[in-house]
């Protein structure tokens, strides 16, 4: 436990380093603030364009929503409307962009994302691009442009954006694991995500294979050594060092909720007729 606390403090220091915010001026990105306070954060995964589903999840208790644009047909117009429909909800919008290009990241930040999740990072350039296109000058090359970000986050957004928007890089392939120390050390990368499923898919290793576990351990060690936040699937919540988690999608939550409702429902219509509604 003592080891975990020391590592977490190192990650907290990394989050706060270079921030213009003092103790009396909290971050409006509550995910970043919670991590800086040493708290774990969990995000529900969204793959649908339905604003009602988005709002239900945004108000369900998640710290953030992982808006999935790599493995879904979602468009930026649809996502913009979803975020706007539930402005003010506690869950902060994070977007997994398809690629770390200027176009994808510019659109994601313009519509109000406070987290940019970069998939398939296996080169140093991809990690650096994720930061460069997320940050305004002088740190990066994000164009001020337009969008709904100001209406979502206030008139001080331009001055505060670089301190609030988080960059999450996903390590999914052996090539990325090989240089994870360099990727984690990139200035502006906040979180390194150990992509459990794809690491197994790309290597062919089962999750209980010692070779698989050694790869995850390498990601963990190098991420924490760099003072960054370590991330993974929600099933790893009790693992030492992990602080940031991707939670279930709306489909699995609806399925599990329906099953729970059916299990709690009366077994027959006769039971319903003799229940409280019949009194």
Q: Indicate which residues carry an active-site annotation.
A: 71
Portion of the chain with pLDDT greater than 70, in percent = 86
Q: Has residue 25 got a pLDDT over 80?
A: no
State the residue for tokens 């999750």. Answer: 207
Among 43, 140, 35, CA closest to 94: 43
150-193 pLDDT tens trace: 999 998 999 999 999 999 999 999 999 999 999 999 999 999 99
Contact 118, 100 (CB under 8 A): yes
Tell me the backbone φ, ψ of residue 232, rounded to 5 degrees.
-170, -170
The Cα–Cα gap between 176 and 207 comes to 18
Query: How, if at all, do strands 191-194 and 166-171 pair?
Result: parallel
53-74 pLDDT tens trace: 999 999 999 999 999 999 999 9
> How sure is the predictor about 145, in pLDDT bands with cuts at 50, 70 and 90?
confident
- What is the domain partition of the chain in residue ranges? 2-264
CA dihedral 70, 76, 81, 85 (to 10 degrees): 40
Which superfamily does CATH assign the domain made up of 2-264 to? Phosphoenolpyruvate-binding domains (3.20.20.60)
Residue 2's pLDDT is 41
Structure tokens given for 147:
């969008």
DSSP state of 275: S
């Amino acid at each position: 436990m003592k080891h975990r606390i020391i590592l977490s403090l190192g990650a907290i220091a990394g989050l706060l380093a270079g921030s213009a915010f003092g103790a009396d001026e909290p971050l409006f990105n509550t995910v970043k603030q919670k991590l800086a306070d040493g708290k774990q954060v969990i995000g529900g995964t969204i793959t649908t364009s339905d604003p009602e589903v988005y709002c239900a999840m945004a108000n369900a208790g998640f710290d953030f929503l992982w808006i999935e644009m790599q493995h879904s047909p979602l468009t930026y117009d649809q996502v913009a409307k979803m975020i706007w429909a539930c402005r003010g909800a506690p869950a902060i919008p994070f977007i997994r962009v398809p690629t770390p290009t200027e176009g994808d990241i510019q659109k994601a930040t313009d519509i109000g994302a406070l987290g940019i999740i970069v998939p398939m990072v296996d080169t140093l350039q991809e990690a650096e691009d994720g930061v460069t296109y997320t940050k305004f000058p002088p740190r990066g090359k994000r164009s001020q442009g337009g969008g709904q970000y100001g209406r979502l986050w206030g008139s001080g957004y331009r001055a505060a954006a670089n301190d609030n928007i988080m960059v999450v890089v996903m390590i999914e392939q052996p090539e990325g694991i090989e240089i994870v120390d360099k990727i984690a050390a990139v200035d502006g990368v906040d979180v390194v995500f150990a992509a459990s499923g794809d690491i197994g898919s790309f290597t062919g290793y089962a999750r209980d294979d010692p070779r698989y576990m050694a790869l995850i351990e390498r990601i963990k060690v190098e991420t924490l050594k760099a003072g960054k936040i370590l991330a993974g699937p929600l099933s790893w919540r009790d693992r030492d060092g992990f602080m940031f988690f991707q939670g279930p999608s709306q489909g699995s939550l609806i399925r599990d909720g329906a099953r729970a409702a059916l299990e709690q429902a009366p077994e027959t219509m006769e039971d319903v007729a003799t229940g409280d509604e019949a009194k």
